[in-house]
Structures are given as structure tokens and as C-alpha cells.
Amino acid sequence: MSSFYEPSDLRTLLIEPSLVQSKVMIARLAELGISDVRRVETAQTALELLIPLGEKSPNLVLSALYLPDMSGIELLTLLRNDSTTQDLAFILISSETRPQVLEPVRQLGACAILPKPFSSEHLNNALMMTLDYLTVDHSLDQHEVDLEFIRVLLVDDSRAARNYMRKVLENMGIRNITEAENGHAAKALLEENTFDMLITDYNMPEMDGKELVEYVRTQSWQSHIPILMVSSETDHGRLAAVEQAGVSGICDKPFEPAMVKSLLERVLTSH
């Protein structure tokens, strides 16, 4: 059964030390129909409100990167490592632009990273990705394929990223999901099992996503399997090489549910 989220369904916890910045953010959220917003100044106060989650607890956290007691990245790490909050929707708001600083946020399964200051368009896009992440959408059932039998291989060296992507897939009705933490492990699974779709990270130890794609397309007996590459890679030359290797689609981290749904629709249509 589908369960669609609207902006008014979001119970938002805003973690922002600046009162001035908080007022701006709350006003922007209200413009988009989000009125249930509680603001705190520190990560510790937020954790006390979030762990454990209750029925009326926040379902979205918006956090600044630099907080008085810890960073937003440290906060997100704590949330992802607690079973009660590991699937909580999280948006980071920061003026930080250095990829090496933001990379952990992408690997931890944030719904979006908002620049500071942000425009209404930035905020709207981030919220649309969040609503996609929270929504249970079984509209793929219209293809008359039993989704629980669609076999997906999910490859990422980050456990938090795999958890995030698993939730997106499960919200679409996919249940048969096998996980691997790098390309070598995925290669072994591909040799012994049949899959309908491969979702893989780009940057991984042992055997990266490009090498895995090349193996699948040139050596695997499942060479025609649809492949979605999920990556925070910004080097256009490297991404071009991945496209040439034969991926079916490339999706940015944070993971975009709409991209996965589009690829799944193509897969189901071809069955």
C-alpha cells in the first residue's frame, strides 16, 4: 500500500545556533507548507529529542554543519549508528563547499546538502528528495510484476549508505536485496547468483565501481544486467569513462529516489 508524504506531514527539527539564521529558515519552510518546526541550538539537545524516536517525533532533521558541541557530520554519524534513527531523513545546511569535508555526509546517507545561504529553489529540491525518500510508493506494481521477486545487488563500502538505499528500494516494494561492501564481494555474488539490477557506488576499496562495471559488461554471464552507478565523484572525465563502460544511469550522492524508480520502470517494462 502506498503512503505519500506532503510537506505538511514533515515534523522538522532544526539545529541551528544562530537565532537570525533560524528565523530565516523557519520562514522559508513555512512558505513551502512546513509549519511543524522545532528549533534547538545543540546536537546534544537534538539527540535527547530523537533517541529513541516516538510516534510524534521529528521525521526530518535540518542541521548546520558547525554546532557548539559537535559537527553536523558527527551528529549524523550518531544517528546512523542507532537502530532507532538510522533511517531518519537528514538535510545538512552549510556554507562549506570543500568536497573532502562534505564527502562523509554523502556516504552517511543524507537526503540533501543545502548551501548557506540557500534559495527557495534549493530548499524545494532538497525537500522533494526528502519526500521521495519518506514516501512508500508501490506504483511500480502497475507493471504486473511481483516486486518481491525482483533481485537487486546493492554494492557500497558504506553501511550507512547501503541502509539508506535499501530503505528507498523497500519503499518501492523491492524486498529481495543482496548487499556487498566492495566490487570483489559483488563479483563473487554475481558469479553464483542471478540478479535483475545492480546498484553500485563508484569509490570503493579493493575494486571500485568502474572496475565492477567493466567486469560485468565484458566477463560476467550477466553482462546485460541494468546498472545504476551512485557516486559523489565530481571528475567529469572519470564519470565519462564510467558511462562508456556501460552503466544504465548515474545518480548523485545524496541518492535520488526518482532516478532509481525511473530505472526500475525501464527494467520492469523490459521483462
State which of 117, 134, 151 marks the end of a domain: 134
Let me know if residue 201 belongs to a domain: yes
Structural domain count of the chain: 2
**Of 101, 134, 167, the domain-final residue:** 134
Q: Are 162 and 123 part of one and the same domain?
A: no
Amino acid 29: pLDDT:
95
Q: What pLDDT is recorded for position 223?
A: 92
Let me know if residue 1 belongs to a domain.
no
pLDDT value of position 144? 60
Domain of residue 59: give its range.
Answer: 7-134
- Kindly report the CATH number assigned to the domain that includes residue 72: 3.40.50.2300
pLDDT at 61: 98
Same domain, 158 and 247: yes
128 and 160 part of one domain: no
Give the whole-number percent of the chain exceeding pLDDT 90: 59
Do 129 and 11 lie in one domain? The reply is yes
**For residue 256, what pLDDT is reported?**
77
Q: Within a domain: residue 12?
A: yes
Q: Which residues of the chain have pLDDT under 70?
A: 1-2, 138-145, 232-245, 267-271
Task: List C-alpha distances in Å: 45 to 29, 108, 232.
Answer: 21, 21, 31
pLDDT at residue 140, as a whole number:
66
Residues 57-111 pLDDT 10s: 999 999 999 999 999 999 999 999 999 999 999 999 999 988 888 889 988 999 9
- The pLDDT value given to residue 241: 60
Q: Determine, yes or no, domain membership for 249.
A: yes
Same domain for 146 and 128, yes or no, is no
pLDDT at 122: 92
Assess whether 113 and 54 both reside in one domain. yes
Same domain flag for 42 and 68: yes
Query: 148 and 94 in one domain?
Result: no
Judge if 146 and 88 occupy the same domain.
no
Domain membership flag for residue 2: no
